[in-house]
Each structure stands twice: as C-alpha cells, then as structure tokens.
Amino acid sequence: MPIRAVLAGARVLIPSLEDSRRLWEKGFYGKPLGEPKPRGPIDKPLVLDLVEAVYLAKRGVIEVYRGGERLDAAGLEEEARRLIPRFDYLYRVYEELRDAGYVVRSGLKFGADYAVYEHGPGIDHAPFLVSVVDYDESIDPLEIVKAGRLSHSVRKHFVIAAVDRRSLRVTYLAFSWTRV
C-alpha cells in the first residue's frame, strides 16, 4: 500500500511517523524534519525533495496529495519541472544512480548536486560528489579544478554527470586528484 505524502511548496512531507520510518529504512529517503544529520532510527516525519518524491511516486511507493486532492506521478513531475530549474537532468541522474543501488542525497554543502553513498548516511561516507550538467554545456576548466580540489579535501571522488538533452543519456566523467 502506498505511503500518503503531502505536497507543501517545493517539499513533500510524510506526516505518519510509522510511514516515515518505513521509507527511511527502505533506502534513506528524505530527511527527518528539522534534523540536518540524521543517524540511526528516526523519530520525526520525513521531508522529501521533489526529485526523490517524483522517483517514489513513479514507482508507486508514495501517493502525493495537495489540498486534499491526489496528484498522480505525472502531475507531481509537472509541478517539479515548474519549480526546479534543470529538473529533467537532475531527475535522470538521480533515477539512474538510485536504480543502480546507490543512496543519493543533496550535495549542496559540498557545492555539488548530489552526494552519493554506496550504503547510506551514518553507515558510510559518501564516496562521490556529482555535478549534473547539460552534455553540450561548456565548463570552465577552473571550475573543474576547484570542484576537484574541494572533493579531494573531503575525501570524495568528483564526478560530472553530463546529460544529453535529446536522449537523456548520461555520461559520467570521474576525476581524481594527482600530484605531479
């Protein structure tokens, strides 16, 4: 049975604590309300960002409501596309990484789109920082150096996920910092 969720602006709330725990244990989805670094069992409702909410709605894991009316996955995706610049690119990379078994979290505090875990927060450290770009977008080499140095300083691999706008095919470019 799908978990009931409520759309609130650009976030989706799972009001039931029991459902929140179930969803967290299923794959570290969302964040407990008001907890920046959740560890262990959660004791607060979960808040999902729109990208992960669309992912879960498309798979029938959650049903999202706004003002008492149910939004189907396509309606939620349309809302996300309206609110999030680059939604299609961000979603495509999120979906591909989640489907491959990774736990994908916001990488904002590292200056990236995603921090990617092999097992999950509190279990391991995210080994990858992923920045999502349009495949045809030019990238300033200095920005690559900055991102590479930052990721190296926090012991993570820097990855650019380049998304082809026509096919939505993703090409991953991984960088390692080396001394010459």
pLDDT tens digits along 159-175: 999 999 999 999 999 87
CATH code where residue 60 lies:
3.40.1170.20
Same domain, 146 and 133: yes
CATH code where residue 150 lies:
3.40.1350.10
Rounded Cα distance, 109 and 64, in Å: 28
Residues ≥6 apart with Cβ < 8 Å to 88: 81, 163, 168
Same domain, 110 and 137: yes
Q: Nearest 5°: CA angle at 90, between 19 and 101?
A: 55
Same domain, 77 and 3: yes
Same domain, 141 and 176: yes
Which residues carry out catalysis? 117, 125, 156
Residue 162's domain comprises 85-180
Same domain, 91 and 146: yes
Last residue of a domain, one of 83, 117, 138: 83
Same domain, 108 and 96: yes
As a whole number of Å, the end-to-end CA separation of the chain is 56
Counting the structural domains of the chain, the total is 2
- Percent of residues, the chain, with pLDDT higher than 90: 64
Tell me what percent of the chain is helix, strand and coil, each rounded to the nearest 5. Answer: 35, 30, 35
Q: Does residue 175 contact residue 157 with C-beta atoms inside 8 Å? A: yes
> Which of 135, 142, 122, 128 minimizes the C-alpha distance to 166?
135
Last residue of a domain, one of 83, 107, 128: 83
Same domain, 77 and 95: no
Q: Please write the tens of the pLDDT for every residue from 69-119.
A: 999 999 999 999 999 999 999 999 999 999 999 999 998 888 899 999 998
pTM (2 decimals)?
0.91
Furthest-apart CA atoms within the chain: distance in Å: 61
Instruction: Tell me how crowded residue 85 is: count the other CB atoms within 10 A of its CB.
Output: 7
Same domain, 136 and 123: yes
What backbone phi and psi angles, to 5 degrees, belong to 145? -65, -45
